[in-house]
Amino acid sequence: MTTASITQQDQDFYKKNGYLLYKQPLFSQEKQAELTSIFEEQWELVGRKLNSELDTPHFRDERLLKFLLSDEVLDLVEPFIGPNIGLWSSHFICKEPFIGKQTPWHEDSAYWKGRLSSFEKIITVWLAIDRSNQENGCMRVIPGTHSNGFSDYEEVDEGANIFATQIKAIDDSKAVYFELEPGQSSLHDSRIIHGATPNPSPNRRCGYTMRYFSTEAKVIPDKNPDFKIWLARGKDIAGSNFVNVL
């Protein structure tokens, strides 16, 4: 695979809006098929349950490190967070046909509050395993909200939602929907307001999130018990406790 081609225009768009759609294949067809196979295996092991059962799958299946620490992904994120990159987390997110729950409006960083010293340079690559569109509940964002700070949340019905809380008073008309074909990806800042509608369609919607942070931020040990991070590229600037040191 050729390395990701990120232009200055792409970087400027991301800085302003907090997201970018990357419509080129991230991995080769063979590598994408291998990742899909690992997902299907993991999903079967947990009884095809919803996405909460598939958080940090690389902790128990190190085959995923082949993808998470790959040049294809690191070359994609480096223009946005710099050359010193830590692997923060990964997550298989699957919305089953007809019953896939809504993902309420939220900021990823709000759920990690206190766990890192800074949220300024944390990026998520959302890689489509299945086709993702408005019909099956694709991700959507409110552009530019990555600069707003932490939002106010309210409780919601957990039976219909993946989370028990959501950000108050969001204008859905401002949402941008991330429609992706398998192998394509999106990038978003950890602070941007985002979510997804339910999946009432007959088509499954699965993606793999790969999350990275600049090692200028320190991962706070006592706030991350039994949580593993990898030094993916460059140097450990802030002195975090990485599984590996390059």
**Residue 71, in any domain of the structure:** yes
- Residue 62 inside a domain? The answer is yes
Q: Which of 69, 164, 77, 167 is nearest to 126 (CA)?
A: 77
Asked if 107 and 142 touch (Cβ cutoff 8 Å), the reply is no
Residue in the block written with tokens 């997804």: 196
| pTM for this model (two decimals) | 0.93
pLDDT tens per residue, range 20-54: 999 999 999 999 999 999 999 988 877 666 555 57
Number of domains in the chain: 1
25 belongs to a structural domain: yes
Residue 138 is part of which domain span?
8-233
Give pLDDT tens digits along the chain (246 positions).
Answer: 446 789 999 999 999 999 999 999 999 999 999 999 999 998 887 766 655 557 899 998 999 999 999 999 999 999 999 999 999 999 999 888 988 888 999 999 998 999 999 999 999 999 999 999 999 999 999 999 999 888 889 998 877 787 888 899 899 999 999 999 999 999 999 999 999 999 999 999 999 999 999 999 999 999 999 999 999 999 999 999 999 754
Q: What pLDDT is attached to residue 55?
A: 87
Q: What is the pLDDT of residue 5?
A: 85
Residue with the two structure tokens 């409110």: 142
Q: Which amino acid is at 177?
A: Y
Q: How far apart are CA 3 and CA 67, in angstroms?
A: 14
Q: Which residues pair with 23 in a beta bridge?
A: none
- Whether 243 is covered by a domain: the verdict is no
> Phi and psi dihedrals of 169, rounded to 5?
50, 60
Domain contains 167:
yes
* 1 part of a folded domain: no
Domain CATH number, residue 39: 2.60.120.620
